[in-house]
Structures are given as C-alpha cells and as structure tokens.
Chain A
Amino acid sequence: MIFLILRRLVQTALILFGVAAITFLLLYALPADPARMIAGRSATAQTVANIRHELGLDQPLLSQFWNYLVGLTEGNLGRSYAQKTDVGALIAARLPATLILMAAGIFVEVALGLILGVIAAVRRGGPVDRLVMMASFVGVSAPQFVAALLLLYVFAVTLAWFPMSGFGTFAHVVLPATTLGILGAGWYARMVRSAMIDVLNQDYVRTARAKGLSSVRIVFRHALPNALLPVIAMIGIDIGQFMSGVVVVEAVYGWPGIGQLAWQAIQQVDIPIIMGVTLVSALAIVIGNLVADLIAPLIDPRIRAR
C-alpha cells in the first residue's frame, strides 16, 4: 500500500513537471515580448533591455526553466511581471473564491443530478423519465457563456432576485454556481439513473420489495448509496471541466477567482501568473483523478465502463 502511494506521488510529481515544461515552452514561444509589454509605449530601447535583463529573459531557455524549477522546489512560483508581486500570494488571495465557486457548482450539479436521476429511475420508461433525460441533454448542450448571460438577464436584470456580480454573500454565489452546475447535472442525472436502475433490478431489491418494504426505503437504503460512488468518482474526473468552466463563468459574473487572474495574465503575457495558475489547476486535476482511481475498484463494473 505504502509502495503504491509512493508510486502515485512520484507519478504526480512527474506529471506536474511535464505540465510545467510544456507550458513553459509554449509560453516561451509566444510571439510577444513581455519586457516590451511592461515597458509600455514611451520606453526607450535601454529601458526595455534593462527590464529584460532584470527579469532574466535574456538568458537561454533552459537556464530560465531551470531557475523556475529551482524556485518551484522552494515553493516559489515567481513574481508577476505586471503586478510586481509574488504569484503565490496572488493565487492564494484568489484561490478561496474559486474553491467556493467550484464547491457550490459541484453541489448544484450533484444535487440536481441526484434528484433528477432518482426521479427518472423511479419513473423509468414513463413521460417524466423521458422529460428528465431530454432536459439533461439540453443542460449538457448549452454553451456556458450563453447560459451565464441568460441567467444574468432573467434573474439579475429582469427579476432582480440576485445581484449581478460580485462576491461576498450567499446571494452572489447562486447564479455563477448554477451556471457551472447545469452543464454537468445532466451527466450526473443519467449516471444516477442507470446506476439506480441496475440496483432496482437486482434480486435482493425485488425480494425486499416483495417483503413489503416501502419503495422510499428501498430507494434511499439500497439504490441511492450504490449510485453515490460513481458520482464521487465522476467529480474527481470533472475537476478539469470545472477549471475550464471557471474561466468563462468568472469572467461573466466578475467573480474574483483564479480564472479571471489567468485571463488577465494571458492578455498581458504575464508568464509567471499563467504558469502558476496552470500548475495549480493541474495539481487539482491530478488529485481529482487520483480520487477517482482510488474509488474505481469499488464501483460496479457495468457503470465503470463509461
């Protein structure tokens, strides 16, 4: 067991190293000059050269990357070019907001998915089931930015039930979390439905029912717990999806998370920030996948085969 965990840790480190190397190479190849972006319009050639030197951008690629790695091993993500401050601190300041948004989004997704999935499974074959399944497909097919604009238009502008943007209270989180959650809720509903149906068709459930156990009890005692494991595994795999969704959703709702930080940094070629956000996201994704892998053996193989 310990050997297995060690192995996974080494793998994780290697994956992060690979992500860092590829991202660094891509950013290095960008047809834009960070020193010039910082120097602005009125700078002389001397100023630009000075800035390039101070940032170490005049060094060869490999030594730049080496310096970055050395910093990483000390837990140092480098300094932002444009904001002249620690990238680690910038990300730390914004990460909680993103985590709150993701947690709320996952909650919406799972809650909606479970409710719809259970309803559909209980009423399988009927019109309710078909309606739910159709709705779940609409959810997964909606472009996130359109969904975001639509929710904003209906619930914040027209009905004024929720604030339009910002951060801080519960009301602020509702619309962004719903936007994030709708996308995945459809998948979860389908997954929960098929997992439940599998269980409901099994002999022991039929026996239980024959013995006169109420169907509510059967659903909550037997079927639902069985459907929960794949849901948890799915969340792990979905972290990557969420990371992408966060960029769009944060932009539309003015949510002060790392998605906005990354988007702003990309516009300014602020390479240390882009690197930092990519690495943090990659870490989250790797951890998510790890969780999914650990759970996988516990799941019914019929559901596992996705």
Chain B
Amino acid sequence: MFKRWLRHSTIAMALALTPLPAFAQDVIKQGGDVVITYKDDIATLDPAVGYDWVNWSMIKSLYSRLMDYTPGTPDLIPSLAESFTVSPDGLTYTFKLRKGVKFTNGRELVASDVKYSIERAIDPKTQGPGAGFFGAIKGFDAVSGGTSPTLEGIATPDDSTVVFTLSRPDATFLHVLAINFASVVPKEAVEAAAGDFGKKPVGSGTFVLKEWTVGQRLVFERNPDYFVKDMPHIDKFTVEVGQEPLVALLRLQKGEVDIAGDGVPPAKFLEIKNSPEGAEIIVDGAQLHTGYITLNTKVAPFDNVKVRQALNMAINKERITRILNGRATAANQPLPPLMPGYDKTFTGYAFDVEKAKALLAEAGFPDGFETVLYSTNTDPQPRIAQAIQQDLAAIGVKAEVRALAQANVIAAGGTEGEAPMIWSGGMAWIADFPDPSNFYGPILGCSGAVQGGWNWSWYCNKDLDARAIAADSMSDPAKAAERQAEWGKIFTDIMADAPWIPVTNERRVVAKSPRMGGDGDIYVDPTRVINYDAIFVKDE
C-alpha cells in the first residue's frame, strides 16, 4: 500500500550519509574561526518567530528539521528523518526518525518533540508568522483558532515515528517540513526560557549559540554531537552586528572580516569587481527573487488590461539592470529562472515605447494619465522608482513617486484602492522554499487579494486559482514534472492579464575574504542565503 519515496538524486543520497563531496578547486579543511557582519541586530533566534533573511540562515544552523536541502541547491533531502513514506492518496506521511540525535542540552530528540514544535509554531500565543504553512495538516484550524492545544493530524505511535495526516493533498508538504518554522525544539528549554527562547535558543543543529552581546556580537560554536559526521566544517563563527555594509567591506579588504553578510553596496561593487583580487572576493549568485511592479487591477485605469500591457512594454529593464551595476537580469515572468517551472521559451512583453503608446491610445489614453508609484525609502529603491518614473513619462504616464518606510508601503499595498503602483524592491518576493506554488497564493492568488494581504495587484482569477489547487494536489512524486510544467503555464498565462511588470531578477552579491573556501552557491544558497554548515576555511 505504501510506496517508498526514492531519494531525489544520488548526490543527495551521498550527502545525507557522508561528508560533503569535495568542491572542484578546494580541499575541505576542518576548523577555523570566521567573522561575519550585518547591519541590523539579530531580531530573534526562535525558529517559530524568526522570519527575516538574516536570522533565517542562523536558525537553519541552530536547529534541525525532518527535511533539509543539499547545500547550494534546491534539492530536498531527509535530515532528522531517516526515511519516510507517502500514502498513494498523498494524505499520510510517515517519518522514521534518525536514532540517537541529541539536543544540545543533552536530551535525546524524540517524536513527541516534532509534534510539540509544530504545534507551538501554529499556537496563536507564539505569535509566529509561519503558522499558515501548516494549513494542510488535519486539525490546523482548531489549533490556529486557539480552541485546541494539540494537532489532530500529527501522531507519534513510538519515539521514533511521526505520522502526519493531511486534510488535503499538498505537493509542497515536504518543503514545509524543511522550512525554519518546522524546526524541532525541546519543550523544557522553551519553558525554562520563559518567553525569551529567541534569545536562549536550544536545538540540535550544526551550531550552538555561545554568546550574545546585544547590539554587538553573537558567537556560534560547532556542535560536536551533530548527527552528520564532519559537519559543519568551521569551529566557530562570530556575527558582528551594527556594521554598515560599506564599512564591513572595507574591513573585509583589510582582513578583519570574512563575510560581509549584507552584500556589496553598489558603489564598492564595481571597484572590487574590477580590482585584481575581485574574482576571489565577490560571490555573485542567482537567488529565488523577482523584482516587480504591481498594477492595481482595482484602481482606474489599471482595471483596463490594455493599460497594464502597455506599461509592461514601457519599462527599459536593461537600463535598470545597468543602474544596479549589472547585478540583475531583466525579468519577463513572475518566476525567477532558478525556480522549477520557469519557462525559458517565454519572451513576455518586449520593451517598445511606440507599441506601448499605441496600446495606451487604443485603451483610451492617448495623452497618458497621472498615477502614483510607491517604493520603500532605502537605497537603491527610490532610485529604481525614479528610473521607472522616467520610463513611464516617455509614454505620457505621469507617476508621482512616494518613497516611504517599508511598513507604510506594505500597509498601502494591503488597503483596497490605495496604491495604484508599487515597486516591490526591498520587499520583493524571495521564495520561502524552492517551489513555484510559493510564488502564487499570497502574491497573485485570490486569497492574497484581501485587506492586509500581499497581493498588491488585487488580481484574482478564479480559473487560475482552480488550476493552482489542482497542481498542488499532484503530490505523487512521479507527477512532479507534470506539476512543474502546469505551474510554469499558470505563470505565463498570468502575464496575459499583466497584473505585474516583472522587472528584474536580482542576483545576490556577497563578499568573502580570499581564505574562505567552497563553491559560490553555499554563500548565496537558494534556501539559506549563507550556508554556515557548508562553508569552510581554506588551507593557508
């Protein structure tokens, strides 16, 4: 009745059992202290609460989850799970836990910890942002609504078995078990921390938090008992916070810093790229990111599909990538190229000012119109907004730029009829997990087109919603390719309605000191940003 899930690939299999395969150029060395800098202080290390891209990768390394990804790739592998099976109807997932895994407080990790951790992530008292990801688990509504403390859909027949029962098939469920909110935490440590677990984290991941001086530094040390041998590679990493990206980079060039976590400011990018040691320092990798402009389908004249299409032809994306110093490529569809389902053959709307003007005239606006373009107020977003503004002016559309604090833009986007256009830069969708469905529901589906939602186009297409649900019910791994193709089609079909102007796919640029080893992909890991488990220090 149950059929065995074959592991994704042979590489993944090798990884789960043995240390990382050697990267082409460097021999992996065990040991070394690494210094990483960020501008903002770390908000929290509670896996049920943390949800920004800085603490995301630290939480990944402090805790472990049933599922994980091969470093530097979007490929799923079992982690805390030793093996698992999926029922043919896709409604029951049975996991066998790895034996002898210990929390860093010394206690063995058992099945009930998995159950507790997921219930905690959903519990309204936790105030966690990720509760919704677990919506497919049976009994979710009762826990999320606060009427029941325990989740009906998770059973633990013995200490090493966890059985999930779903209320509907969810093809992304294995990804859900790999996101941070599914991290396993020991109940006694959560209770002992008395509401301060985010500052006193205990997990079973590759690293342990040794020191946290608020506003200054966090010190992580290797967990000697981690259940995969020879992981992680470095002994220790120190995160220094409150460091301006520019200052961090200057320090990196002087050898005081190993990784400038916030990336390379545009000004320094060209200087370093063109310097002799540039190639060694700069890691420039694709990420699951699309920068787009939302066209509010509930605000005139964007309720007219021709207007939306015309604007899609008006934006000079090549010039915008130049303003970004070539650290982005022009986008033509919602999905980023790295995402399964991306349609390489799709061309979208080509940049053509004359055609855009003609279409605008056809829509009844030969002289253009006036509108408002929102953007966040951190550099370079106001600059990109101004570039867009100039492109729109060329077809007669006068857009007033409103560069506001991120919170205000988000509030405007989620208020019906408020924001005609929003440049998403700085808040753009970066996927939670590498699956195309993650790019649909909240930002393009009907469920997101609500008060306070993230579908700032207020685009709601019932047919596409039905197709999306159908695609996500294909949880049979044999149908993975079919599902992927269907998702790709959904996104290219969306472009016919043009609720967005996809503008750029930004690459992530991180700077690392020459002594840091390993493939670039582990510094711009698609699921983790920086993969602290996989990075290592080269022999000097």
Chain A residues proximal to chain B, CB less than 8 Å: 30-34, 36-48, 50-51, 53-55, 79, 82-85, 90, 93-94, 97, 152, 156-157, 160, 164-168, 251-252, 254-257, 260-261, 264, 266-269
Contact = CB atoms under 8 A, between A and B. Distances in A.
Contact of B452 (A45, A94, A264): A45
A55 B127 contact: yes
Contact of B196 (A38, A85, A254, A260): A85
Contacts of A40: 51, 129-130
Contact of A36 (B131, B144, B145, B411): B411
B interface, over-half SS = loop
B129 A42 contact: yes
A41 B412 contact: no
Nearest to A261: B215
A82 B454 CA distance: 19
Contacts of A39: 129
A298 to B, nearest CB: 39
Contacts, number: 147
Given A38-B129, A44-B132, A47-B131, A267 B196 contact: no
Contacts of B533: none
B258 interface: no
Nearest to B195: A84
A260 B38 CA distance: 13
Nearest to A41: B454
Contacts of A84: 44, 46, 49, 127, 195-196, 198
A257 B241 CA distance: 12
Interface in B18-72: 39-41, 43-44, 46, 49, 51
A206 to B, nearest CB: 55
Contacts of B408: 30-32
Interface stretch (B242-250, B309-317, B328-336): B242-250
Contacts of A97: 215
Contacts of B254: 160
Nearest to A258: B215
B390 interface: no
B374 to A, nearest CB: 12
A53 to B, nearest CB: 7
Contacts of A166: 240, 242-243
Nearest to B430: A41
Nearest to A45: B450
A165 B44 contact: no
B215 A47 contact: no
A47 B144 contact: yes
A37 B43 contact: no
Nearest to A37: B407
Nearest to B197: A84
**Could you say which of B144, B432, B447, B452 has the most chain A C-beta atoms within 10 Å of its C-beta?**
B452
A87 to B, nearest CB: 12
Given A90-B214, A256-B216, A266-B405, A38 B127 contact: yes
